[in-house]
Amino acid sequence: MKLKNDLILRAARGEQTERTPVWMMRQAGRILAEYRAVREKAGSFIKLATTPELAAEVTVQPVDLLGVDAAIIFSDILVVPEGMGLPYEMIEQRGPVFPQTVHTLGDLEKLRIADPEEHLGYVLEAIRITKKALDHRVPLIGFAGAPFTIFCYMTEGKGSKTFSVAKKHLYTDPLFSHALLQKITDSTIAYLKAQIAAGADLVQLFDSWAGILSPEQYREFSLPYIKQICDSITEVPVTVFAKGAFFAREEIGQLSCSVVGLDWNMDISESKKLIPDKTLQGNLDPCVLYASYDQIRTEVRKMIAQFGTHPYIANLGHGVYPDTDPDKVRCFIETVKEYSEK
Ligand code: 1CP
């Protein structure tokens, strides 16, 4: 059966749409009281993410409560290292921590290429349940971390401003670095293909830490692995979002993906010139949603006007911040819908 609202899929394929589609990175969770209630019931983030019925419930919430044009499966990029044999913990108010980290080829040998059904079956089941609950209303987005961003967490063991432990490996042990990146890539390709088989209508790669690399390092340690993934996923549109990688836009634009995500540091008209052949997604500063309703409307209209007739999906330039007022989020979404229809 055909989707009732397939605006995002058509925009991703480069088609002109009757209005601009809109969704929000990190829309599931964080800002909604309804999410926090389910999270409470689950007891912990990990329990929520690994209980398919509950993960599906919070995935659908933003479609019902915010009116976005797509759902994104509730999970985390760190389930891939877990599937490879490196478990993580989620510390309240602090974020993810890996009790063990990977630093040598010997450590790497102990990890496996994750088997999606066996090691990540709970995500696939959540996708199947979500698809039924969505009942063809809007597309479902699957996702994974880009290999370099996953490499950062597997070596560093936690979030960091600099990821200097991760970057040290790139300089001191490129052989190990490439071997780990390849194992993550192989796991990610199998995982995304399984998400698509389970029902994901498009997939997004989050290279959240792209911006800590030099252009040369990005070309060596991130792009080739993203390229392998883009070349392998031919079933559905792929979005590449490389936060901070303004310097690599032209090369990202030449990958075989359908959509390129932009953050708010990336100038819109410059990005259109650097990436002429792909749909663009983004790029409102999430902090705009702290401003007044009038300011939000002005900024959203300015953004849409700048993207103009370029194939486009409206979004923020990074995930919505947890202390954002859901009514301001609704204002963002409503403004995109109303203004782009004219
Ligand atoms: O909100 C959603 O869309 C739900 C699904 C989702 C997604 C797409 C979560 C749930 N995490 C992610 C992606 C993710 N996770 C990224 C890429 C996107 C981005 O850059 O924002 C990254 C880098 C992570 C890693 C991660 N998980 C962090 C950052 C750590 C750091 O400082 O480097 C944190 C804090 C988490 C925890 C997490 N993941 C998701 C939620 C709802 C939470 C909060 C935990 C909780 O509720 O207890």
Distance 324 CA to ligand 1 centre (A): 16
Alpha carbon 195 to chain centroid, angstroms? 14
Tally of CA atoms within 13 A in the half-sphere of 279 that contains its CB: 26
Q: How far apart are CA 336 and CA 11, in angstroms?
A: 14
Q: Is the CB of 76 under 6 A from ligand 1?
A: yes
Provide the 3-class DSSP secondary structure of residue 258: coil
Under a CB-based contact definition with an 8 Å cutoff, are residues 44 and 107 in contact? no
Distance 96 CA to ligand 1 centre (A): 9
Q: How far apart are CA 249 and CA 19, in angstroms?
A: 26
Instruction: Establish whether 76 is a catalytic residue.
Output: yes
Average pLDDT in the 318-337 region? 97
Under a CB-based contact definition with an 8 Å cutoff, are residues 281 and 253 in contact? no
Distance 225 CA to ligand 1 centre (A): 22
Start-end of H helices in 85-209: 105-109, 116-119, 121-134, 147-156, 164-172, 174-198
Task: Please tell me whether 76 is known to bind a ligand.
Answer: yes
342 pLDDT above the threshold of 80: no
Distance 76 CA to ligand 1 centre (A): 6
Task: Please tell me whether 187 is known to bind a ligand.
Answer: no
The single-letter code of the amino acid at 195 is Q
pLDDT of amino acid 1 = 79
Secondary element (H or E) of residue 74: none
Distance 97 CA to ligand 1 centre (A): 12
What is the longest distance spanned by two Cα atoms in the chain? Answer: 60
Task: Please tell me whether 153 is known to bind a ligand.
Answer: yes
Closest CA to ligand 1's atom 8:
26
Instruction: Establish whether 26 is a catalytic residue.
Output: yes
Neighbours of 6 (CB within 10 A): 20
The single residue of 10, 26, 128, 137 carrying the catalytic annotation is 26
Q: How far apart are CA 274 and CA 271, in angstroms?
A: 5
The single residue of 6, 35, 39, 207 carrying the catalytic annotation is 39
pLDDT of amino acid 341 = 86
| Nearest alpha-carbon partner for 223 in 307, 149, 288 | 149
- Average confidence score pLDDT of the chain: 97
Ligand 1 atom nearest 95 alpha carbon: 35
Task: Dump pLDDT digits (tens) for 173-208.
Answer: 999 999 999 999 999 999 999 999 999 999 999 999
Q: What percent of the chain has pLDDT over 90?
A: 97
Instruction: Establish whether 30 is a catalytic residue.
Output: yes
| Nearest alpha-carbon partner for 258 in 235, 240, 232 | 240
What are the residues facing 205 on neighbouring strands? 144, 240
- Please choose from 63, 76, 130 the residue to mutate so as to test ligand 1's pocket, defined by most ligand atoms within 8 A of CB: 76
Cis peptide before 5 (omega within 30 of 0): no
Average pLDDT in the 142-166 region? 97
pLDDT band (50, 70, 90) for residue 265: very high
What predicted TM-score, i.e. pTM, was given to this entire model? Answer: 0.97
Tally of CA atoms within 13 A in the half-sphere of 335 that contains its CB: 23
Instruction: Establish whether 10 is a catalytic residue.
Output: no
Task: Dump pLDDT digits (tens) for 267-321.
Answer: 999 999 999 999 999 999 999 999 999 999 999 999 999 999 999 999 999 999 9
29 pLDDT above the threshold of 90: no
pLDDT of amino acid 261 = 98
CA dist list (Å): 330 to 21, 25, 128, 260: 14, 14, 27, 24
Q: Is the CB of 59 under 6 A from ligand 1?
A: no
Provide the 3-class DSSP secondary structure of residue 243: coil
pLDDT of amino acid 211 = 98
Domains and CATH numbers, the chain: 7-341 (3.20.20.210)
The single residue of 30, 128, 297, 330 carrying the catalytic annotation is 30
Q: How far apart are CA 35 and CA 322, in angstroms?
A: 12
